[in-house]
Amino acid sequence: MKSHSSVPKFGIDVLDQGHERLFDLERRLLSFCGKGYDSCESCSADTQDECEKPFSALLEELLVVMWEHFRDEESLMIHLPPEPAQAHKYEHAEISKVFSSLMVQDPQTRFLQNRRELVKILGLWVHDHIERWDMPLARQIKRNTAELIQ
Protein backbone atom coordinates (compact mmCIF):
# COMPACT_ATOMS: atom_id res chain seq x y z
CA MET A 1 0.00 0.00 0.00
CA LYS A 2 1.15 3.49 -0.76
CA SER A 3 1.99 5.47 2.32
CA HIS A 4 2.48 9.14 2.96
CA SER A 5 4.38 10.33 6.00
CA SER A 6 2.11 13.35 6.19
CA VAL A 7 -1.28 14.40 4.95
CA PRO A 8 -1.16 16.49 1.77
CA LYS A 9 -2.32 20.05 2.45
CA PHE A 10 -4.20 22.10 -0.13
CA GLY A 11 -4.88 25.20 1.92
CA ILE A 12 -8.62 24.57 1.75
CA ASP A 13 -9.76 23.85 5.30
CA VAL A 14 -12.67 21.53 4.57
CA LEU A 15 -10.52 19.33 2.30
CA ASP A 16 -7.49 19.38 4.59
CA GLN A 17 -9.54 18.52 7.69
CA GLY A 18 -11.35 15.68 5.92
CA HIS A 19 -8.07 14.22 4.67
CA GLU A 20 -6.56 14.52 8.15
CA ARG A 21 -9.45 12.52 9.61
CA LEU A 22 -9.14 9.86 6.89
CA PHE A 23 -5.38 9.51 7.37
CA ASP A 24 -5.94 9.17 11.12
CA LEU A 25 -8.45 6.37 10.53
CA GLU A 26 -6.07 4.68 8.11
CA ARG A 27 -3.30 4.76 10.73
CA ARG A 28 -5.67 3.38 13.35
CA LEU A 29 -6.76 0.55 11.04
CA LEU A 30 -3.17 -0.29 10.06
CA SER A 31 -2.11 -0.46 13.70
CA PHE A 32 -5.31 -2.08 14.94
CA CYS A 33 -3.71 -5.30 16.11
CA GLY A 34 -2.10 -4.64 19.47
CA LYS A 35 -0.13 -7.86 19.12
CA GLY A 36 1.48 -6.67 15.91
CA TYR A 37 0.17 -9.52 13.78
CA ASP A 38 -0.32 -8.97 10.08
CA SER A 39 -3.14 -11.50 9.97
CA CYS A 40 -5.93 -12.32 12.39
CA GLU A 41 -5.42 -16.04 11.71
CA SER A 42 -2.50 -15.92 14.17
CA CYS A 43 -4.95 -15.32 17.03
CA SER A 44 -7.32 -17.70 18.76
CA ALA A 45 -11.03 -17.60 18.00
CA ASP A 46 -11.65 -15.98 21.42
CA THR A 47 -9.15 -13.21 20.70
CA GLN A 48 -10.68 -12.64 17.27
CA ASP A 49 -14.12 -12.39 18.91
CA GLU A 50 -12.77 -9.74 21.30
CA CYS A 51 -11.34 -7.74 18.38
CA GLU A 52 -14.38 -7.96 16.13
CA LYS A 53 -16.53 -5.35 17.86
CA PRO A 54 -13.92 -2.55 18.14
CA PHE A 55 -12.74 -3.23 14.57
CA SER A 56 -16.33 -3.05 13.31
CA ALA A 57 -16.83 0.24 15.20
CA LEU A 58 -13.69 1.65 13.58
CA LEU A 59 -14.96 0.68 10.13
CA GLU A 60 -18.33 2.26 10.83
CA GLU A 61 -16.54 5.46 11.89
CA LEU A 62 -14.58 5.30 8.63
CA LEU A 63 -17.78 5.08 6.57
CA VAL A 64 -19.30 8.07 8.34
CA VAL A 65 -16.14 10.16 7.90
CA MET A 66 -15.84 9.08 4.27
CA TRP A 67 -19.44 10.02 3.44
CA GLU A 68 -19.12 13.36 5.27
CA HIS A 69 -15.95 14.07 3.32
CA PHE A 70 -17.67 13.20 0.03
CA ARG A 71 -20.53 15.54 0.90
CA ASP A 72 -18.09 18.34 1.71
CA GLU A 73 -16.12 17.79 -1.49
CA GLU A 74 -19.22 17.66 -3.63
CA SER A 75 -20.38 21.00 -2.21
CA LEU A 76 -17.12 22.49 -3.57
CA MET A 77 -17.59 21.03 -7.04
CA ILE A 78 -19.41 24.15 -8.21
CA HIS A 79 -15.88 25.30 -9.00
CA LEU A 80 -15.42 22.49 -11.54
CA PRO A 81 -16.73 22.20 -15.07
CA PRO A 82 -19.71 19.78 -15.23
CA GLU A 83 -17.85 16.79 -16.74
CA PRO A 84 -15.03 16.58 -14.17
CA ALA A 85 -17.52 17.21 -11.36
CA GLN A 86 -19.70 14.32 -12.54
CA ALA A 87 -16.68 12.02 -12.91
CA HIS A 88 -15.50 12.90 -9.40
CA LYS A 89 -19.00 12.25 -7.99
CA TYR A 90 -19.11 8.94 -9.86
CA GLU A 91 -15.82 7.96 -8.22
CA HIS A 92 -17.36 8.74 -4.82
CA ALA A 93 -20.36 6.53 -5.66
CA GLU A 94 -18.10 3.66 -6.76
CA ILE A 95 -15.97 3.85 -3.61
CA SER A 96 -19.11 3.97 -1.46
CA LYS A 97 -20.51 0.95 -3.26
CA VAL A 98 -17.33 -1.09 -2.73
CA PHE A 99 -17.07 -0.18 0.95
CA SER A 100 -20.77 -0.78 1.55
CA SER A 101 -20.57 -4.21 -0.08
CA LEU A 102 -17.69 -5.13 2.21
CA MET A 103 -19.59 -3.89 5.25
CA VAL A 104 -22.82 -5.74 4.42
CA GLN A 105 -21.95 -9.29 5.11
CA ASP A 106 -23.27 -12.62 6.19
CA PRO A 107 -23.51 -12.76 10.00
CA GLN A 108 -21.15 -15.75 9.91
CA THR A 109 -18.44 -13.69 8.20
CA ARG A 110 -16.22 -11.56 10.34
CA PHE A 111 -14.89 -8.13 9.45
CA LEU A 112 -11.51 -9.33 10.60
CA GLN A 113 -11.43 -11.94 7.85
CA ASN A 114 -11.67 -9.08 5.35
CA ARG A 115 -9.28 -6.81 7.26
CA ARG A 116 -6.47 -6.91 4.72
CA GLU A 117 -8.84 -6.19 1.81
CA LEU A 118 -10.54 -3.35 3.70
CA VAL A 119 -7.25 -1.69 4.63
CA LYS A 120 -5.97 -2.10 1.05
CA ILE A 121 -9.08 -0.44 -0.38
CA LEU A 122 -8.84 2.35 2.17
CA GLY A 123 -5.20 2.95 1.26
CA LEU A 124 -5.99 3.02 -2.44
CA TRP A 125 -8.79 5.46 -1.95
CA VAL A 126 -7.15 7.74 0.57
CA HIS A 127 -3.98 8.13 -1.47
CA ASP A 128 -4.93 7.58 -5.09
CA HIS A 129 -8.25 9.41 -4.85
CA ILE A 130 -6.58 12.46 -3.30
CA GLU A 131 -3.95 12.56 -6.03
CA ARG A 132 -6.28 11.86 -8.93
CA TRP A 133 -9.40 13.79 -7.94
CA ASP A 134 -8.88 16.09 -4.96
CA MET A 135 -5.70 17.81 -6.13
CA PRO A 136 -7.35 19.01 -9.37
CA LEU A 137 -10.42 20.11 -7.38
CA ALA A 138 -8.21 22.13 -5.02
CA ARG A 139 -6.29 23.68 -7.93
CA GLN A 140 -9.54 24.72 -9.62
CA ILE A 141 -10.92 26.23 -6.41
CA LYS A 142 -7.71 28.21 -5.92
CA ARG A 143 -7.78 29.37 -9.56
CA ASN A 144 -11.42 30.49 -9.24
CA THR A 145 -10.70 32.22 -5.94
CA ALA A 146 -7.70 34.03 -7.44
CA GLU A 147 -9.86 35.20 -10.37
CA LEU A 148 -12.47 36.59 -7.97
CA ILE A 149 -9.84 38.54 -6.02
CA GLN A 150 -8.36 40.17 -9.14
CATH of residue 48's domain is 1.20.120
Say what the alpha-carbon torsion angle 44, 48, 49, 54 is, to the nearest 10 degrees: 150
Residue 7 lies in a domain: no
Q: Range with the lowest mean pLDDT among 60-64, 66-70, 117-121, 140-144? A: 117-121
| Identity at 129, one-letter amino acid code | H
pLDDT at residue 2 above 60?
no
What pLDDT does residue 1 have? 38
**What are 85-111's pLDDT values in tens digits?**
999 999 999 988 887 777 666 545 555
pLDDT at residue 142 above 80?
yes
Residue 3 lies in a domain: no
Using an 8 Å Cβ cutoff, are 41 and 22 in contact?
no
Count of domains observed in the chain: 1
Residue 4 lies in a domain: no
**Closest C-alpha to 10, from 135, 124, 147, 131:** 135
Residue 107 lies in a domain: yes
The whole-angstrom separation of Cα 65 and Cα 5 is 21
How many Cβ atoms from other residues are within 10 Å of residue 80's Cβ? Answer: 18
pLDDT band at 20 (very low <50, low <70, confident <90, very high): very high
Residue 42 lies in a domain: yes
For residue 107, give its domain range.
13-149
The whole-angstrom separation of Cα 54 and Cα 58 is 6
Residue 92 lies in a domain: yes
Residue 1 lies in a domain: no
